[in-house]
Structure 1
Amino acid sequence: MGARVPTLVRAPAAPTISENLNLFVKIKIVVIILSCMTMSMSAFEGTDADALLNFRASLSNAKALSNWDPALNPFPCSGNRGNWVGVLCFQANIWGLQLENMGLMGRIDIDSLVALPYLRTISIMNNTFSGPFPDIKKLSKLKSVFLSYNHFTGEIPDDAFSGMNSLKKVFLSNNEFTGQIPSSLTGLPKLMVLGFDGNKFKGKIPDFQQKSLNKINVAYNELEGPIPARLSQMDPNSFEGNPRLCGPPLASCSTPLIIRKKAPILKIVLIVLVMALLLALIAAALIIFHLKSKQSSLQQPQKTSTSNDQNNFVVAHHQKVADGKRGEHGKLAFLRDDRERFDLQDLLRASAEILGSATFGSSYKAGVADGQTVVVKRYKKMNNVGREEFHEHMGRLGCLNHPNLLPYVAYYYRKEEKLLLSDFVENGCLASQLHGNRNLDEPGLDWPTRLRIVKGVVRGLAYLYNALPSIVAPHGHLKSSNVLLDEFFEPLLTDYALMPMINLDHAQTLMMAYKSPEYAEQGRITKKTDIWSLGILILEILTGKFPENYLSLKHNSDADIASWVNTMIKEKRTGEVFDEEMGGVGNSKSELLKLLKIGLSCCEVDVERRLDMKDVVEQIEELREGDNHELRKYSSRIYNIDEGDDYISRAV
């Protein structure tokens, strides 16, 4: 055989220098592009995140912003969804901050927000920010600014809004701003809405000419002079509370000031009559003086018959009236036209019976003119409320009218303390009916009465929500001792809508709204905070158990009555939940369960899962005093128990 010729395998040709260079360049270009994209994305997100973190660092009590944490989520935005609480996004850009009802305070670091180029709206309403107006003109592209319901003070610079040509909405309501309304607002071409009510602005309203401006509210300030013609077609209520303002839509500027201060025609007639009687009153002054002297001597024996505490109440107030400031402090202001009038002297001379000492002060029962009996509550936790602010707020409360609200009849203002007068209610408060010592002749409240009380409380609370939409928690202090019962055991809510006037430090330790889970966890209250208080009240009415939340300084989940009820349900001991003294249940066992479920739904710790006011009203109104259909099915579905009628019959 011939020698085998080996097969030669041709080695691949080595790449040329040119090919190597091209490959290297291509790889390098890809690396550079990817690197640039990564750096760009990182830089963008880092800038947004860093800007927000710098902003949060300038705040105090920022627990509500705890998820602003790059470790949890490095991106504040994902498309149109905000990953960080209160952050509004559009196409992965931050275009808004909605940080409302969070208990935030501290300095607003506008400079940190300048780094957000797409920011168009900012709302920090209903927090506790204080100090001067923030320099928002640095955010020149903003379209809306909401700073209402804080504690900002001082004058706003006249050029505060210069250059903000995209600005459409500005809300500064219910702060403590002074000085004049900035004229720089008149140069904003797109301005649509202004809310400046509830401050202390002075001077004239700027001459707004923008055709885009369709709503303005400057009520309850200290403005004066003619209203600009451009605003003459606006709602007259937008200008009320400024007695020195004049011109359409208010009274003519030629109308005397004293008449302008009293817009309703009936009040104008009364003023004319009072002026006509002025000379007669002056002529009778000496007679009145002698009559008062005789009355004082006649009343002296009554003072000696009262207790030491009652004497202290009368004597202390006599001293205050006689301190040389009678003209400033010496009058009662009545809020109701259907009550017999009496003056402060009549009240101070009346025999007083101490009813008790509550969280805000003492209460007295006093008999005044023609056998009329009133309750006088002394409040010492309102001394940071200005005179005009107090008068204006009480004026609003005086307009409230609902069968389940105990009306405020009159009030007395003094810097150190305030007096609020209301009618005396014979049956006392719900707390004493539920937890007071009783005998066989005074049985506990039966089921129909308790259901009627719950319905009345809900109706009164719903009315407050509709009538006072600007107050975050319209009641704010709902508990069984603030629910009075009339002679027919209809409930009357009291101590309502006082939150805006209570010193914040006292409110945080005393008022029920500040004992809610959301305030304990996030330092804020919401529109659903009163719902939580209502839920606690419903459970108290059903169980007869006194809620420990009333006594604690803040919410304690371990001591929460709702937690106790849930535990009993899980242990299939629902029958032990209901008050043993509650009679009259009959065939209403399923209704008891329904109301128990509603109460628990009102006490959800998660505010988003908690019932809203509309749902509460609908569900409560559906309840009836007697309904026994499908008890087993209902109880199994709601509470995962299947013990039939027996478990509930043991409780009643």
Structure 2
Amino acid sequence: MTAAQSRSFRHHLHHLLLFLSLIRHVNSLESDTLIELKNSLTNGEKLTTWDPSTTPCSGNEPNWEGVLCMNDTVWGIRLEGKELGGNIDTKIIMNLTSLITISFQNNSLEGEFPVFKRLRRLRSIFLTANKFSREIPMDAFEGMRRLKKLYLANNEFVGQIPTSLTTLPKLRDLMLENNRFEGEIPTFVRDNLTFVNFANNRLRGAIPKRLQGFPKSQFSGNGDLCGPPFEECKVEIPTATIIMIALVVVAALASITVAFIILQQFRQSSNNALQPPPYKKQPSLDHDQMEQGCGGKTVAAKKLDLSLKLTFLNDEAESFDLADLLKASAVVLGGGVFGSSYKTTLSRHKVVVVKRYNQMNNVTIDEFYKHMKKLGKLKHANLVPLIAFYYRNEEKLFLADYVENISLAVHLHGSRSEVKQRLDWPTRLKIVKGVARGLLHLYNELPSLITPHGHLKSSNVLLNQEFESLLTDYGLVPITNQEHARDVMIAFKSPEFKNHGRITKKTDIWSLGVLIVEIMTGRFPANTFHYSKGGDLELTNFLDSVMKEDVTIDMFDKEIGRFDKRNEGEMLKLLNIGLSCCEPNVEKRWDIKEVVARIEEVRENNDNDNNDDD
């Protein structure tokens, strides 16, 4: 070895020794910190594996129970159901500089709310089912810009919900049910909340507009909340105001009466008074088919009776009618198995989708109206709400808000000219979670339906600008002609219908499984979009071809893009969930609650959000 090589070797050895010394120092600091935390908790002695003679982590593997590790560093603490008492001293765990998640669910912690804002790197806090019973300071979450998940359910917290939660830019899950929170629900600045629960508290007042799309069950048990999804808030008008309004009305009526008398006198004295023309009922218009109303041409419907009106399903003001639709410009979006769809521009600020259905003439008008009212009451962040409908025996028109960012099917299988952005892994996971949440809402709100969706497929999942999932064409099985439903709807392609001629409460789970497999593999299940009568090419064939292969990373859609060891495991987990949903045996197939719970557990990365952006 030359002198130069010797110096280089000593230089690298010196740096290696410094690096190893630093690792030992970090490990020693983490060990001391965790032992101090253990000693500060009641029943901490039960953590018998927390031995100061060993290190908490060896690489990515924990040596101590309840410790989450990566690269010899503690990034999470998960001590659930350990009968631990006392409180969490955040001054102690400030020394765990890589800590991003902390969970002490199902213990007996109590006292003041821990000062978590000292730990600004935290992404997740899980304190469900403890014995906290005091008020949380308004500024308790100030500066926690990375916090995504906060679970405080099943405690006895009192006072108002901290306003410092309302400005957190990444907060997604907020679980506050079964406490004693009081006052009004604060207004959240952003729309990033995707999973909330305020049930069984003492809250009152109007539900903020950004939260009105969540299910009623997530606000129940409060008593004094109002506004969607509950009844509209009643406005209390002071007595003095009522008196003033009454006086104004009386004065106005008097003025109208005087004006009417003067007008009558004028008409009687005038020989040239204008007479109104006699009323003549307008005949039904015989327009061209709506299929020809593309490229900005006038929308027209064949033999639509303009004496009938649109039936509106929500609280939106009836600012337009059927005649407005006929005069508006429209572009054909496409033709599906039920009929054609049109993007209809009523004004610069109002664009709707009009869908024609001509296979719904076997239900009575009463049955149809009753079912449409049910669908009209559905409000959820992952459903496209119905605005209105038009009823004729031969065909029906459904109106919904137009969603700008086209369907999931186009993003998965469309041409590059149609798709401007690839679907990476976090986006696909976000889409699946949105679909699952929307489907769960349908199950909860439409319990009488065997298949609350019935036609779940990628072309019936629309995506908004933020790539949030919006389900459409849901709840149509009861009003669709059964012979047509059996031919074209996804629910009737399931193994249980193929083998036993029936659909079940778990049929939509099978459809969800097919969709997840399609999203993760990028493969096109041909019969999802086109069918041949006789059903030779069925979705079960698509699934059989997937299930015969080993479930490996080679199955993933190449368009997902780069992925490494940190998210490979989570991607496989989601794909396996999809395959489990496709279990042919209905009895063994998971129910909706278990499916959603398992999907919610899937992370963007194996390290539980450790690789998220700051």
TM-score normalised by L of structure 2:
0.50
Q: What TM-score comes out, normalization by structure 1 length?
A: 0.47
Larger radius of gyration: 1
